Chains A and B, each alone.
Chain A
Amino acid sequence: MNTKTFKIGFSKLSKIKFLESIDFFRRSESDNGSNVSLASFQVMVEKEITDHIRNWRFIILFTIIALACLGTLFSTLSDSAKTLAENNSESTFFFLNLFTKSDGTLPSFFVFVGFLGPLFGISLGFDAISSEQNKGTLSRIMAQPIPRDYIINAKFLAGIIVISVMLFTLSFLVLGAGLVALGIPPTAEEFMRIIIYTVLSIVYVSFWLNLSIMFSIRFKQPATSALLGLAVWLFFTIFYPLIVNVIIKGFEPSKFASQSKIFIYQKLKFYLVQIMPNELFNEITSALLVPSVRSLGPLTMEQMHGAIPSTLSIGQSLLLVWPQVTGLLALTLLCFLFSYVIFMKREIRSRG
């Protein structure tokens, strides 16, 4: 059933995309009569999307993620009454709880997305270029009258489209199930928060997609690039926090240290983890889905003074995570830049 919903969603979305690109193509054709056009780019993107969807790898991962999310959803909904009663004061944001709360048997929706998203991105991209090269199709495509960057652009765009479709499907599935089970519609603000969260999670997954496409350009063996992608992911989720802890230990101030010292220490701790893409995403998620989060870094007592203990508006929440969003986008673009540079300079021979 999931795949069905997904397919319908996909066809609609792709239609919109295609209409846009056809329009764009017509314009470009009238501008200059050259035979370089976006029509062939559109064909390439279509093919890449088809390949992704037919791929077992994609189907399996999608099923896993969908099942995990549905499992969470049901466990949350089953004791929704309890949750409602518990958080009576925050019940204005009940729908967001569907994404962030769980009864403890299963992690919540956003944890699953944060955890499985990178895997999904890596799995879509790790053999993007190298498999074409190994199959000998790359040189055949390169002999066609298309600019070279169409190849990686198409791979990247197709990946993003597939990811967006998947994440939007899941978000709306959770939203819809909540709507049906509870009978309360989400408020406009909740809806917007969920949409923005979904868009930013697309950016997060596309970072991993870009990283793995970069590895697939650099390394000929798909296994190497897959392992490297996983290694980076493991490094950031497990090893880097450990390293940060070790470093931080050395700077730990004593209990009786001055306030400013403790503050600097906390700042250091905060900044050291800001390089991690997963940490950036976690901060974005918590600020967007939990409106009561007022700050991501440490605050002094002075800053807290006079604050009204209420939730933030959506604009304020967005402002709060703006640096994190910028950082995540920058990382994504950096990966894309590197893959672009490597790929454009490469000489492509058949199977070598």
Chain B
Amino acid sequence: METCIEVSGLTKKYGTHLAVDDLTLSIGKGEIFGLLGPNGAGKSTTILMLLGLTEVDSGEVKVCGIDATRNPLEVKSKVGYLPEDVGFYNDYSGFQNLMYIARLNNIPIKKAQKNALGILEEVGLLDAKDKKVGSYSRGMRQRLGLADVLIKEPEVIILDEPTLGLDPEGVRKFLQLIVRLSRKKGITVLFSSHHLHQIQQVCDRVGIFVKGKLLAEGKISDLAEQLFTKNTFTTQVGITNNKTSLNDNLKDLTKKINQIESVAKVTLNNNCFSIESKQDVSDELSKLIVNSGYGLSYLTKKGYGLDDIYHQYFQEEKAI
């Protein structure tokens, strides 16, 4: 696949604080890449360096084959950037705001007007185009921000925490919009967020970014494999106990479960087992429990989501 954003050995220091540490990353054309990390991980700094908005201490950034540190203007004409908590000129209408940006990009007025109307329709703001931005809701502002990014017909769009402060329905719609537009126009998207579920919903690939370092990178399913080589499966079992409850029996049961092949860890908590294993053991588990004379009230298999990956990393971070 053709690479669109290529970063190698990127480092940025603020005084003694290392904001971005030797980052190497490549993003293919037309891909939706999620940059996931907690606040202060260096996501925004990385994005600023991609756009040539801040100086790079060492390393190389290439966007669409252009060196972003040397030719930031060319990069900026190809990249649409939606900053975190974007601001508009409140005294101007949404349409005027768009037109201003279009004209800064040297788009002829007539073409810009046509484009602006088309894009406003696409993001669903056509009705509100002549209202002052000051009267827009948070969701509308964010959609206007997306329109603002799209007006210059970019090859790459970079969205820095675009869903911040939107309600769940707004987030869903916004994400759908991004995916739809990206697929339709073949735009590469770099999406930064600390919300796992949003990234999980839209991104083809994810990079996990903690303390300036890219800890893992790849598809979400691959990431799980990379990380949880030991105990990939967690099964939770709730049991009911009709007979006179005896802790001994439960202890026996725990032992028996432990003896099942590939089970690594069993924890018992209030008639509820949590079993970590290398393979799917739900089959054996249910048989065992029923055979022991207990009732099985529920059994849930948990595959690994980004959530767990995230937590895993935070644990590591704390351990460091």
Chain A positions near chain B (C-beta within 8 angstroms) = 34-37, 39-40, 43-44, 47, 51, 54, 135-147, 347-351
Contacts and interface: CB of A to CB of B under 8 A. Distances in A.
A42 B106 CA distance: 11
Given A136-B87, A137-B88, 19 more contacts: A35-B73, A35-B106, A43-B100, A47-B100, A51-B91, A135-B87, A137-B89, A138-B87, A139-B87, A140-B87, A143-B80, A145-B104, A145-B106, A146-B73, A146-B76, A349-B44, A349-B48, A351-B85, A351-B87
Nearest to A139: B83
A297 B106 CA distance: 54
A142 B53 contact: yes
Contacts of A147: 73
Contact of A145 (B76, B87, B148): B76
B113 to A, nearest CB: 14
B123 interface: no
A346 to B, nearest CB: 10
A141 B104 contact: yes
Interface string B55-82: 1000000000000000001101101110
Contacts of B74: 35, 145
Given A47-B100, A135-B89, A143 B83 contact: yes
A146 B148 CA distance: 16
Contacts of A54: 91
Nearest to A136: B87
Contact of A146 (B53, B79, B84, B104): B104
24 contacts: A34-B73, A36-B73, A54-B91, A135-B87, A136-B83, A136-B86, A138-B87, A139-B53, A139-B83, A139-B87, A140-B87, A140-B88, A140-B101, A143-B51, A143-B81, A143-B83, A144-B101, A145-B74, A145-B105, A145-B106, A347-B48, A347-B53, A347-B54, A350-B160
B295 to A, nearest CB: 56
A137 B91 CA distance: 12
A40 B103 contact: yes
A180 B307 CA distance: 81
Contact of A40 (B54, B55, B86, B104): B104
Nearest to B72: A145
B300 interface: no
B53 A143 contact: yes
Contacts of B91: 51, 54
Contacts, number: 84
B312 interface: no
Contacts of B201: none
A143 B154 CA distance: 12
B105 A40 contact: yes
Nearest to A351: B85
Given A35-B77, A145-B76, A350 B104 contact: no
B90 interface: yes
A146 B100 CA distance: 13
Q: Which 5 A-B pairs have the closest CB atoms?
A: A136-B87, A145-B77, A143-B81, A350-B83, A135-B87
Contacts of B51: 143
Among A44, A139, A140, A142: residue with most chain B CB under 10 A: A140
A347 B105 CA distance: 22
A181 B290 CA distance: 112
A78 to B, nearest CB: 42
Contacts of A347: 48, 53-55
A141 B152 CA distance: 13
Contacts of B152: 144
Among A34, A135, A145: residue with most chain B CB under 10 A: A145
A310 B152 CA distance: 66
A3 B103 CA distance: 29
Interface in B97-126: 100-101, 103-106
A142 to B, nearest CB: 6
Nearest to A46: B103
B54 A136 contact: no
A93 to B, nearest CB: 46
B152 to A, nearest CB: 8
A350 B86 contact: yes
Given A40-B106, A43-B104, A144-B101, A136 B85 contact: yes
Contacts of B83: 136, 139-140, 143, 349-350
A313 to B, nearest CB: 49
A88 B198 CA distance: 85
Contacts of A142: 53
Contacts of A143: 51, 53, 76, 79-81, 83
A263 B271 CA distance: 104
Given A135-B90, A143-B53, A147-B73, A350 B85 contact: yes
A146 B106 CA distance: 10
Nearest to A134: B87
Contacts of A35: 73-74, 77, 106
A348 B51 CA distance: 12
B103 A137 contact: no
A140 B148 contact: yes
Contact of B86 (A36, A39, A140): A140
B95 to A, nearest CB: 14
A6 B172 CA distance: 51
Interface string B172-211: 0000000000000000000000000000000000000000
